[in-house]
A and B are shown apart, each in its own frame.
Chain A
Amino acid sequence: MTKKKFKDQFITYGIVIALYLIMEILMKTGNLSSHLKGLLVPMTYYAVIAVALNLCVGILGELSIGHCGFMCIGAFASAVFSKLTQNTLPAAPRFFLAFVVGIAFAALFGFLIGIPVLRLKGDYLAIVTLAFGEIIKNVINAIYFGVDSKGPHISLNNVMDLGMEPDGQVIINGAMGITGTPRDANFTIAIVVLLLSLFVVLNLMNSRDGRAIMAVRDNSIAAESAGINVTKYKMLAFTISAAIAGAAGVLFSHNITSLTATSQYFGYNASIMILVYVVLGGIGNIRGSVIAAAILYLLPEMLRGLNTYRMLIYSIVLIAMMLFNWAPAAIEWREKVAHKFIKRNA
């Protein structure tokens, strides 16, 4: 690893840690409003999933608009685990194992879904990820799962089909989802998860594997002729990306107590919102994703004072920011202005 890259990585971790310390100090001294305090954990898990999606979109170069599906799998798998072991395990090891379960399930599904998805290209790949995301959501919405003295029961029809003993406990109740998941997540754990995700992704980028992945992104045919196993590297990146999204899901389900597989959390709209973070933060720029996720999650919350005009203003800001950041004319103009500014100062 070159010195410059090391420095670059260090800045990324530094920003996250600095932000964490500032928030902790503000919190400890009582200077943080409850509103902001409540936003810290969601902000962090959206940053985590933005990092995951950037690995897929920016580093692997494949557009996914179903990433919240993996988050959904991580959330449900870990919540089921936590519910089952709520009375048998102490909180700390239980939450750790919940992460293992959530990440493992998300990675497994990432792998399985990756097999067909990565055979496709461009917009067709994107639409298939969207399709998988919607399928995951739709199927989880129809799952009824309960446990009683005779063991687990599962049904795709309704809760009566479970045929549960009276002592049984319904864990996933179709659209009503999972309620009463222990609230184990907190800001410190969330930040640790974010740092670990950053560590995984940044190290991957700077490793041999990472260079191979980027070679596949830039030109898969050339990469293949250079002896790189294209399928293997695509699968590797996609699975890791899904696993990190799963970790975000674990934080999600252990932060609010009612978990339902509905569009506002796991549908294509939610996935696109994450994509907005990635694109505004800079495609392939991991640090940018973290910053953009934090700012854009905060933005509509800070706009609450505007009431019903809030989302309208948000959409205008979104369009304006896109034009400002990406339009060739705007970039040219910005460079000109920056140039003048530097000249004047010189």
Chain B
Amino acid sequence: MKKMKSVISLLAASALLAGTIAGCGGNAGGNTASTGESTATESSASGATFKIGSIGPLTGGAAAYGLAVVNSVELAVNEINANGGINGYQVEMKGEDDELNAEKSVNAYNTLKDWGMQFLVGSTTSACSLAVSENTHEDNMFQLTPSASAADCVAYDNVFRVCFSDPNQGLASAQYIGSHKLASKVAIIYDSSDVYSSGIYQTFAQEAVNQGFDVVSAEAFTADSKTDFSVQLQKAKDAGAELLFLPIYYTEASLILTQANTMGYAPIFFGVDGMDGILTVENFDTSLAEGLMLLTPFAADATDDLTVNYVKNYKEKYGETPNQFGADAYDAVYIIKQCLEEAGATPDMSVSDLCEAVKGKIVTITASGLTSDTMTWDASGEPNKEPKAVVIKDGAYVTAE
């Protein structure tokens, strides 16, 4: 009997809650402007609007990446609206949280679909984007992921990406190191529990054989043990590695650089696009990153007008310096805009028609944005752009020879 009561009370409490929440949810869905970070959208109540959705981890350990994506989409959309919209129509955006969870990412996708999304800029991470692509494919919705880099993410013909693929980055890094004869003994530290990191590591290690340098130590860490890197560094040092390849994000890399410094180990550090952001870590001693090389499409301190404006506006609005995730997302919105303008599309077209229109145009356009001056795509969904090799000098990126 007691149990019965507790169940009833649970039911009562939850029903009450669920009721009020469902009510709120319903209202929020009805209004064009939503809450939180998506409010800033100019609500253009009169007339149709384009609706761009974005998905990424906004809470949890990977929130820095998802927030960068969603915020940058919002920034781009606001700019576009201020400059007259796309084909004369205003644009709305909405970002949803997936907690780095593929299942929640699909939930987020469905939420956005209910809201009326026509294009998806997301998901931010590979496993999530892969799961969502199954749904966008079914609905034939155009999906442009800014940063999901696993090879399979763009398997469907309606999915394209802005960033480089993992195999592509692994290959490019190995070739760069080989052709510039940076080192003959290379050590790797990678995150074996992360799709992105192990993807790059795999192609890098495979390509190393062709490039005439030896991988003398390849040590992993996992999401559950990513504070202490003393072992991995000590092994690299003992193996006499002259170059340490770090196919990981700047969050862990900042720790590796600090720990390498305290143990007095100073090889050439070589990173990939996930390394971008290391100079903007609050309170980080940037002298530790001196000489760090990385292949990245974006540099937050570049001096071209586009980057300067983007970084300035982002900082003003969100109080942080954007990273390459954000830059890719910002470009993604403009790429969609360019395709829509080329196709002369209007918001009253169906999702599937819009997808076909954009799909037809993206393979013909040459886009220019934060992450490259000339980006082109083929039907495979992969972007064609040059990775830039930069080296950190005096706390800033300098183009490497």
Contact = CB atoms under 8 A, between A and B. Distances in A.
Contacts of A292: 10
B36 A302 contact: no
Contacts of B13: 321, 324-325
Interface in B100-158: 100-103, 106-111, 113-114, 126-128, 130-131, 134, 150, 152, 155
Given A37-B110, A159-B202, A281 B7 contact: yes
Given A285-B3, A291-B10, A305-B35, A256 B202 contact: no
B193 interface: yes
Interface stretch (B20-28, B169-177, B229-237, B296-304): B20-28
A282 B18 contact: no
A304 B96 contact: yes
Interface residues on B, range: 35 or more
Contacts of A262: 127, 193, 223
B14 A282 contact: no
A287 B7 contact: yes
B198 A176 contact: yes
Contact of A310 (B97, B113, B131, B134): B97
B394 interface: no
B205 interface: yes
A292 to B, nearest CB: 6
A208 B47 CA distance: 69
Interface string A133-148: 0100010011000000
Interface stretch (A62-70, A101-109, A293-301): A293-301
B271 interface: no
Interface string B1-24: 001011101110110011001101
B206 A299 contact: no
Contact of A264 (B24, B35, B60, B130): B60
B25 A334 contact: no
Nearest to B129: A258
Contact of A176 (B10, B21, B131, B195): B195
Given A256-B131, A260-B127, A302-B22, A160 B17 contact: no
Interface residues of A, number: 62
A56 to B, nearest CB: 18
Contacts of B87: none
B374 interface: no
A310 B195 contact: no
A175 interface: yes
A254 to B, nearest CB: 12
B131 A280 contact: no
Contacts of B197: 175
B247 interface: no
Interface string A236-276: 00000000000000001001111010111101000000000
Contacts of B25: 302, 304-305
A35 interface: yes
Given A176-B199, A308-B59, A282 B3 contact: yes
Interface string B194-210: 11011101100110000
A321 B6 CA distance: 11
A285 B131 CA distance: 34
Contacts of A74: none
A265 B127 CA distance: 12
Contacts of A33: 110, 114
A281 B11 CA distance: 9
Contacts of B103: 42, 252, 255-256, 265
Given A38-B110, A175-B195, A282-B3, 15 more contacts: A34-B111, A138-B222, A176-B150, A177-B195, A180-B155, A183-B134, A264-B100, A288-B3, A302-B21, A305-B25, A307-B35, A307-B38, A308-B37, A308-B97, A325-B9
29 contacts: A35-B111, A36-B110, A38-B107, A141-B192, A158-B218, A176-B150, A177-B127, A179-B152, A183-B134, A256-B103, A256-B106, A258-B102, A258-B130, A263-B223, A284-B3, A288-B6, A288-B7, A295-B18, A296-B14, A298-B18, A299-B17, A299-B18, A302-B21, A304-B97, A304-B111, A305-B21, A310-B97, A321-B10, A334-B9
User: Which 5 pairs of residues, A with B, have the shortest CB-CB distance?
Assistant: A307-B36, A38-B110, A305-B28, A258-B130, A34-B110
